Structure 1
Amino acid sequence: MKTFLNALLICLIMVPATLLAQTTVTGTVTDKADAMPLPGVNVIIKGTSRGTATDFDGKFSLEVNQGETIVISYLGYTSQEIVYNGQSTINVTLQEDAAQLDEIVLIGYGSTTKQDATGSVDKVGDEDFNRGAIVAPQQLIAGKAAGVRITSGGGAAGEGGEIRIRGGASLSATNDPLIVIDGLPIDQRGGAQGSRSALNAINPADIEDFVVLKDASATAIYGSRASNGVILITTKKGSANQPFKVEYGVQATTRKVTNTVDVLSASEYRSLASDPNFDSATLGNASTNWQDKIYTTGTGAIHNLTVSKGYENFNFRVNFNHVSQEGPLDDLYERTGFNTSFVQRLLDNDLKLTLVAKVVQDEFSYANEGAIGAAISFDPTQPVYDENGNYTQYGSSANLAPANPLYLLDEYESRQTIKRVISNFNVDYKIPFLEGLRFNLNAGLDYAENDGHLYSGPNPNNPDAFATNEVSNGMNRNTSLDFYLNYTTDIESINTNVDITAGHAFQEFFIRSFFDRTTNTNISNTDINRNALESYFARARFDISDKYLISASFRRDGSSRFSEKNRIGYFPGVSLGWKLMNESFMENSFFSNLKLRAGWGVTGQQEIGPNYGYLGIYTPSRNNAASIQFGTQPNGDPIFIETLRPEGFDEELKWEETTQYNVGLDFGFFNNRLTGTIDAYYRDTKDLLSRVPVPAGANLTDLLTTNVGEMTSRGLEIGLNGVIIQKEDFDWDTNFNVTFQEREITKLNLSDDADYFIPTGGISGGVGNTIQLWKPGYDPSTFFVFRQVYDNNGDPIEGAYVDVNGDNQITEADRQAYKKATPDAFIGFTNNLRYKNLDLNFTFRGSFGNYVYNNSASDRGNLNAVVNQPGYQANAHASYLDTGFTNQELFSDLYIQRADFVRLDNISLGYTIPFEKITLRTSLTATNLFVITEYDGLDPEISNGIENNFYPRTRDIVLGINVSF
């Protein structure tokens, strides 16, 4: 709270008292081709949001300070920069050019332009990011790119988010994309033990842009880790010849949950006393909303201090970042980090050295999220404290009863400290003896150490219960070295530009973890895992007559996760492009850009967990957890010998392999004021890595990770960008993207049995129950339920289900695959508006065709949830008032509810105040402002489609101040 108040105080007192003098410069902007004035040209002071636009006659007027750089830019024209040195008038001529099409985008081990890109590639830059006090970097691009779906894990402090590109291509292996930060691929399994997000160590304010590689022709050069797409993150590095600049920003935040689980109120609970099974003697005299008691208003603050300077041959940028974010359960996340970058150019700019280093300390103070379930089920007529001032508990006669939710929060301490260094050194050298030949070397290190402890008090209702003490620590080390040669040349005789790249990469991951738990039974163990990946890669690109594009890539990966027999994988990719706009028959077309693309490629998946699934491994027993008696000691005590237990393995384990086809169209109208892309894809994954049951005696385990099955997915992605208004005092641009997708398991076992399925999707309400299934012909998130029968009034009849097979009895054979959690379509809609110095931007996200299983209602929406408990009475879900169910109906499709939604995800209002030497910007931002949905549960956006004890999302209100000078 103190951090929040300090940040808020800074926000309120940082506005300078007086404006300092500025000089007004006027000018005219014309078209170089015909000398006609250009209306709506942006005239901006570089590095600020101060600016204007030309009027109908191409004229502008702008207040400017000595030494500032004026940037004149217009869609379809080459931008110009002019340093102000006292001129009273500045007249500018702009030359027409496909400026936007020539924007540089990374493509993995190199770059290209938008005009020449042949794969499905999206770039989201700093100016497009979501605003506000964003802690997890992935939230910057939520709703910004077609085919990319970001789902927050909930409202916990420091919570990250699930990233899915084209829905994911796997079942049991990871569906997370490969993330590459400044050339360093990070560990797909999390990057650091104990962290809520692999990207938490990255300061969102330090990110320049995201480039999303979606189709296999673009990702194949990353081979064995690219089946789920690739995200390339570039951090800010400053620029050459830049004046010394200091920037400071502070954002003060309040966070509050927007919804809670609907349970019986105290009065509704007391009304159950008429039931003969209800024990009225247990009723208390209070009316306690336990969810209101456990959730508080969280506060937080983000500070960013940045200094940068650019010389002719050297530039640097140093950022200090501190984050403090509270969760509604009084959990806390703090990040303190230094982000540095240094760029040195030597040998007449032929040699460029870039060093990027991030030193970060993350500190998590976790809350006991078991308090969420306890607050849902605890008797609402009981007070928080008893007459002695202690937490009210059910008592020792109910040792399976939930503890007082506030006791669970109070008697719990779990902390994790993570110290992490992410560093990358890049050498880029233009070799002098052959024009167009470059050598590029990239050496990276991601090193993290974690240290944590946990204390959890004993169950107060069980006198035999023990407190839990845990100590954990570990180390993650990711080292990477890659280098490549790149050669570009123009072959004039055939009017062709050639770009060839070939290189080698090696990456090693080392993980050590230690865990010690002290309860009634002590457990202590140390685990070490190490694996490596060695690769060779090449790519050739040809631009023929500035019309026809050909790109081909190839990667050879060798992974230590697989046996020598299956260790090597080969991953090719090919794509074609046709710049229709450059054809003579398009000269008088109403298009300002038109390009057709097509691609094919093969990618892999090797994230099968921490162990080597092809090796026979023996697990030692520790602390007498599993031992055999061999004889007795002289005093008669037994002698126990600890065991070595063999684990299951599959010698034939190999890569998952995904083949993907993509067809795309890029287009532009009205001098590219309206641009867009359309992509259609088909993806087939075979040799799916999955953990499946095996027959008794067939292996050393009942569940084995092996290659089994195939899955296909297909989709259509549409992205539109429009500059609606571009005037002197008012700008309005917009982005809309929509994605349609389907996924289907086509094979799941080696015998091609179409009726075979694997239960999945564990739920609350009994032991080992599941509500989803993997089965050929269905989406992997499909639910598996009985079809509910209703009476003439439309009310569900308890225990009555459709007899699907007509055998006059309801058995497991009558459960059916029904609906799915994966949406049929999702959208993002962003608008950016500016009126003079006032700006407004907002982003909507939506999802359609997805369903959620309301496990909170199915588990507790019945009378037995109250009265049929061992020695106590609990609360029920409010759905009981509608159904009147006595028993749990866990597998009824009644609880599969449509979860379409449209969410106002982010809205920000800002105002820029220009001073002579200082630019000040104030902003007010709200996130998760409202959700439009028919779903009556806690939240329609649940990544796995099962709502149960979900940490509610918060609505964040952010006041921000940014100053630069």
Structure 2
Amino acid sequence: MRTLFKSSLLLLFMLPMSFFAQNTVSGTVTESATGLPVPGVNVIIKGTSNGTTTDFDGNYTISDVSDEDILVYSFLGFATQEVPYEGQSTIDIALDEDQATLDEVVLIGYGATSEQDATGAVEKISAEEFNKGAVISPEQLIAGKSAGVQITPPGGAPGEGATIRIRGGSSLSANNSPLVVVDGVPLDQRGVSGTRNALNTINPNEIEDFVVLKDAAATSIYGSRASNGVILITTKKGKKDSPFQFTYDVKASIGNITDKVDVLNAEQFRNLVTSRSNTDPSLLGDADTDWQDVIYKTSVGAIHNLTATQGFENFRYRINFSNTEQTGVLKTDYYGRNSLNIALNQDLFDNSLKLTLTSKGILEDNSFADQGAIGGAIAFDPTQPVYDPTSPFDGYFEFRDGNTTNDEMRLATRNPLATLEQYYNRGRVKRNITNLKAVYELPFIEGLEFNVNAGFDYAENEGRNSRPITSAIVAAEREQFEEYFNINRNLLLDTYFNYKTNITPINTDLDFTAGHSYQEFFQYFTGRFTNPNEIEEREPSINRNALESYFARASFDIDDKYLISASYRFDGSSRFSEDNRWSGFPAASIGWKLHNEEFLVNSGVISKLKIRGGYGETGNQEIGPNYGYLGIYTPSVTGASYQFGNQFYPTLRPEEFDEDIKWEALKNYNAGIDFGFFNNRISGSVDAYYRQTSDLLAQVPVPAGANLTDQLVTNVGETVSRGIEVGLGGDLARSEDFNWSLNYNITFQENEITALSLGDDPEFFIPQGGIGGAVGNTIQLWKTGYDPYTFFVFRQVYDQDGNPIEGAYVDVNGDNAITEADRQPYKKASPDYFMGLTNTLNYKNLDLSFTFRGSFGNYVYNNTQSNAFIEAVTVTPDDYYANVNTNVLESNFVDSQYFSDYYIQPADFVKLDNLSIGYNFPFEEVDFRASFTATNVLTITNYEGLDPEIFNGIDNNFYPRSRNFVLGLNLTF
């Protein structure tokens, strides 16, 4: 049955297989240095596809071995061994470490280097280190894994993307996310319309590793888009000379919210309303409704992966199909994904030409829930029922004028469940990322390669959202709807030479790269909508921009001790005028491998010691969808016409522009040390950096009449960031049966605006951070000398018992009056330091791992509490009452105190993000692994709100993250 099953799969993929059974060989493969078994070693008959891999205990069995066959034993990090078959029934192998492959290769952009030769701040995170569980968004795999990389998980919406910041970001109004490069294709930093996360096209199961480029010495080869760091994602490929393998992997999950916003229950609400003299208790209902219970549910999901892979001498392939379905904890929320991933490698002309084709196709379906229901559930009267048999709104209870007519109260909160269930919002994204890479070793110069990388990223998005006229939200005579259609296209062509040689007279290895890159981005958007009672066609919107680049890098390794690297990129962007279109981005770095010096080379303690330093310049051109230097005219919509006589004419509205806008420029200084002790059983690195961003792209106010608007994105100001990053790792135990490794990282960071305005006013600031409950009000500011996420508040005065005194604030300027001048910068949302800790234990076939993350020195403005004041409950413009946070019973504020620092709360936290246990069952014909994973397991914090991990520091209508439990099964044939 086993042979028939394998044969059927091979025929399916049109691949040959030999059925000439001869002899059988078995044995054990161990590590020569320690005697420990080595699982996963490829054992293959040379020149054939007949082979196997060692199990967890290093054991293998291979059949169909004939006389004069040669058995090849290979595994990454070990020297390959070849053993002639001479009739032995048992062959035990001890593999030696291969120093050439043990020094792991890392990508650095248009090339690769070894870890010991890297002079920039570069970190590789391999699949073995990834977070476990039912991971949908790829960035979740590396949360907490790298110093200097802060990944803030999204809210609870399925498939939603996390916020990624490398060294805190460098801009204000421009994009602060890193450039992401997938198999050599840089993705559009603006994202893809219609998808919750542009990275969801990449199946997490198919990712081989991430490489994070942090400093400009490493990132400047990407020039104009690298100010916020670069993440290189490499997907899995087939392995050379490996036997056919088929894998089925499934992960099933369930999840629930861990907490709810503390609001008044029905009894508390009735007591508060009846205790006030200016209220009408007859407006209260007879129900006892927990509206948060009404809108939330248990989420369920499953991820299926089917993978086939095989490698021959000159050809190898990997094919993966994945199906993902996940519901949200908020009712009506759904994410679905079907993806096909293909990787083909072909070597031609005696391996002088290497071709690699990767293609990732995805069909993504979304049902977007109306997240306004979250705020509605907090504010809706808990004494009212969910349903009303007399209601004209599909039977949902809604506040009506006098509660007797069919007219809804326009200003009243809407029924949260109706908000969800009467809302239809479906979208489908079809996307493909494909690239073909060719590497040709030129015959006339040894070590010279010519590389061509051609790729495209194409996506179509179409969808519709609507509400029926029976919805209380719709104030029109027809269904409210919108239909849309988008196209996103990204084309790439890279051509470059790479030359590697050894300059023998001076014992120097040279690695030189030079080339050209062209990338074009295109976006198209159209659709139609009701406005308000008419159907209007949306004017098609087209945006196209391009980048053309020339780049070069030279790296020298002198006597295997001294490292020198320099790069230069010359970028031109169509987003800027001809006067500002081109700019150069240089970088240089050095390193010293002290462990290769005579005084350390034979050290029994120090196995690695390298110091390095670098300087580089990068840019940022992500200023939004339009060309900032060109005047844009927007056609008027229906109803916005100008009258001449009896005729109405549509108009063109000129938009703001700055003809002198240019690159945002960043200068980066980095110094680091890498170390390892006791044959690298304990290893780590320390980096210190200083970054200065000038010609800051920021949206600032401009004087009336100076432009076509009072707000303009232009080059103004400067920011400085500095920090220290520490990464530590160690094998605390290493034996045949028990292994224990621990990895820890911590990052200290500081960001500051050092210049902001075009003038010299030291008190100039720009309000930021809009808050709920007060239209147009803000709680943060940009101001010279402060972090970009600093809060802007009055300092609350307290009585002798520690209770806040309503309306009493500190008179900062001493003028005996509380005015806007007494509102002060205070605390910030960004942390002083954050950390991650990963622990992995293996005992025989059992493994256990967990990941902690922590953040310290950060604060959150609790907007759900600041909306809680007594007048908000008992005084409404129509005859209804709204619920509030239970904090109203503590503060006893009668009127709103939105700008009090009473609501700025410490948000330090430690989270047990991930806990996983697994077991490998050792069967002869099938490798079987079962695992159980819990995510978002535990949060330790003093923050009074729902979750302390809020990226911008304003807690308002937050979609709660769920705690998930995942059962995983993996079968490999």
Pair in the same fold by TM > 0.5: yes
For residue 354 of structure 2, the aligned residue among 337, 352, 355 is: 352
For residue 467 of structure 2, the aligned residue among 453, 456, 471 is: 456
Distance 1:335 1:864 in 2: 43
Given that 1:45 and 1:64 are in contact with CA atoms closer than 8 Å, whether structure 2 keeps it comes out as no
Deviations 1:184-242 (A, max 9, x none): 0010011x211111101111001111000000000000000000000000011111111
For residue 432 of structure 1, the aligned residue among 443, 447, 457 is: 443
Distance 2:851 2:119 in 1: 29
Distance 1:813 1:459 in 2: 49
- Matched with 2:751 is 743
* CA distance 1:584–1:457, shift in 2 (3 Å): same
Deviation of the 1:538 alpha carbon: 0.2
- Matched with 2:527 is 515
1:567 and 2:585 matched: no
Distance 1:83 1:475 in 2: 58
Opposite residue 489 of structure 2, the aligned amino acid is: R
Q: Which moved more, 1:327-336 or 1:583-592?
A: 583-592
Given that 2:858 and 2:906 are in contact with CA atoms closer than 8 Å, whether structure 1 keeps it comes out as yes
For residue 51 of structure 1, the aligned residue among 50, 56, 59 is: 56
1:775 and 2:783 matched: yes
Distance 2:923 2:296 in 1: 43
What does 1:689-838 align with in structure 2 at a 5 Å threshold? 689-838=697-846
Q: Which moved more, 1:689-698 or 1:749-758?
A: 749-758
Given that 1:861 and 1:885 are in contact with CA atoms closer than 8 Å, whether structure 2 keeps it comes out as yes
SS of 2:705 mapped into structure 1: coil
- Matched with 2:401 is 396
- Matched with 1:219 is 219
SS of 2:320 mapped into structure 1: strand
1:233 and 2:247 matched: no
Opposite residue 708 of structure 1, the aligned amino acid is: V
Deviations 1:602-636 (A, max 9, x none): 00000000111101122121323x2211012xxxx
Given that 2:316 and 2:345 are in contact with CA atoms closer than 8 Å, whether structure 1 keeps it comes out as yes
Distance 1:72 1:313 in 2: 16
For residue 551 of structure 2, the aligned residue among 534, 537, 544 is: 537
- Matched with 2:615 is 600
Opposite residue 607 of structure 2, the aligned amino acid is: S
- Matched with 2:518 is 506
Distance 2:794 2:909 in 1: 26
Opposite residue 510 of structure 1, the aligned amino acid is: F
Given that 1:866 and 1:873 are in contact with CA atoms closer than 8 Å, whether structure 2 keeps it comes out as yes
1:884 and 2:892 matched: yes
- Matched with 1:582 is 596
Q: Which moved more, 1:857-866 or 1:829-838?
A: 857-866
* CA distance 1:49–1:64, shift in 2 (3 Å): closer
SS of 2:376 mapped into structure 1: helix
SS of 2:193 mapped into structure 1: coil
Given that 1:469 and 1:519 are in contact with CA atoms closer than 8 Å, whether structure 2 keeps it comes out as no
SS of 1:199 mapped into structure 2: helix
Distance 1:80 1:832 in 2: 30
Q: Which moved more, 1:245-254 or 1:464-473?
A: 464-473
For structure 2, list consecutive stretches of 5 or more residues without a partner in the other structure: 1-23, 43-51, 66-70, 403-408
Given that 1:831 and 1:842 are in contact with CA atoms closer than 8 Å, whether structure 2 keeps it comes out as yes
- Matched with 1:137 is 138
Distance 2:185 2:822 in 1: 51
Opposite residue 249 of structure 2, the aligned amino acid is: G
* CA distance 1:880–1:132, shift in 2 (3 Å): same
What does 1:239-318 align with in structure 2 at a 5 Å threshold? 239-272=239-272, 273-318=274-319
Opposite residue 631 of structure 2, the aligned amino acid is: G
* CA distance 1:817–1:80, shift in 2 (3 Å): farther
For residue 564 of structure 2, the aligned residue among 550, 562, 566 is: 550
Deviations 1:157-181 (A, max 9, x none): 2111111110100000000100000
1:963 and 2:971 matched: yes
Distance 1:794 1:491 in 2: 74
| Percent sequence identity over aligned pairs | 57
Opposite residue 94 of structure 2, the aligned amino acid is: V
Distance 1:885 1:416 in 2: 44
Deviation of the 1:463 alpha carbon: 8.4
Distance 2:311 2:781 in 1: 57
- Matched with 1:405 is 416
What does 1:658-669 align with in structure 2 at a 5 Å threshold? 658-669=666-677
Distance 2:229 2:548 in 1: 20
* CA distance 1:921–1:544, shift in 2 (3 Å): same
Deviation of the 1:860 alpha carbon: 2.7
Q: How many correspondences in the alignment?
A: 920
- Matched with 1:197 is 197
- Matched with 2:643 is 629
For residue 478 of structure 1, the aligned residue among 490, 513, 536 is: 490
* CA distance 1:87–1:277, shift in 2 (3 Å): farther
Distance 2:653 2:98 in 1: 73
* CA distance 1:86–1:715, shift in 2 (3 Å): farther
SS of 1:200 mapped into structure 2: helix
Opposite residue 708 of structure 2, the aligned amino acid is: L
Deviation of the 1:39 alpha carbon: 4.8
SS of 2:198 mapped into structure 1: coil
* CA distance 1:898–1:87, shift in 2 (3 Å): farther
Given that 1:41 and 1:726 are in contact with CA atoms closer than 8 Å, whether structure 2 keeps it comes out as no
Given that 2:38 and 2:54 are in contact with CA atoms closer than 8 Å, whether structure 1 keeps it comes out as no
TM score, norm. by length of structure 2:
0.92
Distance 2:72 2:270 in 1: 71
- Matched with 2:165 is 164
- Matched with 2:345 is 343
* CA distance 1:63–1:78, shift in 2 (3 Å): closer
Deviation of the 1:456 alpha carbon: 2.4
* CA distance 1:463–1:603, shift in 2 (3 Å): closer
Distance 2:932 2:198 in 1: 28
* CA distance 1:181–1:267, shift in 2 (3 Å): same
Opposite residue 359 of structure 2, the aligned amino acid is: A
Deviation of the 1:89 alpha carbon: 4.6
Distance 1:652 1:99 in 2: 50
Distance 2:29 2:530 in 1: 76
Deviations 1:689-718 (A, max 9, x none): 011110001111111110010000001101
- Matched with 1:609 is 624
Distance 2:539 2:446 in 1: 58
SS of 2:774 mapped into structure 1: coil
Given that 1:394 and 1:461 are in contact with CA atoms closer than 8 Å, whether structure 2 keeps it comes out as no
Distance 1:764 1:135 in 2: 30
Opposite residue 391 of structure 1, the aligned amino acid is: Y
Given that 1:929 and 1:955 are in contact with CA atoms closer than 8 Å, whether structure 2 keeps it comes out as yes
Given that 1:866 and 1:875 are in contact with CA atoms closer than 8 Å, whether structure 2 keeps it comes out as no
Distance 1:354 1:514 in 2: 36
Deviation of the 1:94 alpha carbon: 2.5
Distance 2:72 2:877 in 1: 73
Opposite residue 173 of structure 2, the aligned amino acid is: S
* CA distance 1:678–1:27, shift in 2 (3 Å): closer
Deviation of the 1:412 alpha carbon: 0.3
Deviations 1:34-72 (A, max 9, x none): xxxx354645555979323xxxxxxxx746555899979
* CA distance 1:82–1:791, shift in 2 (3 Å): farther
* CA distance 1:833–1:79, shift in 2 (3 Å): farther
Distance 1:456 1:565 in 2: 49
SS of 1:585 mapped into structure 2: coil
Deviations 1:80-133 (A, max 9, x none): 698999743514262574754x10000000000001000000101111111111
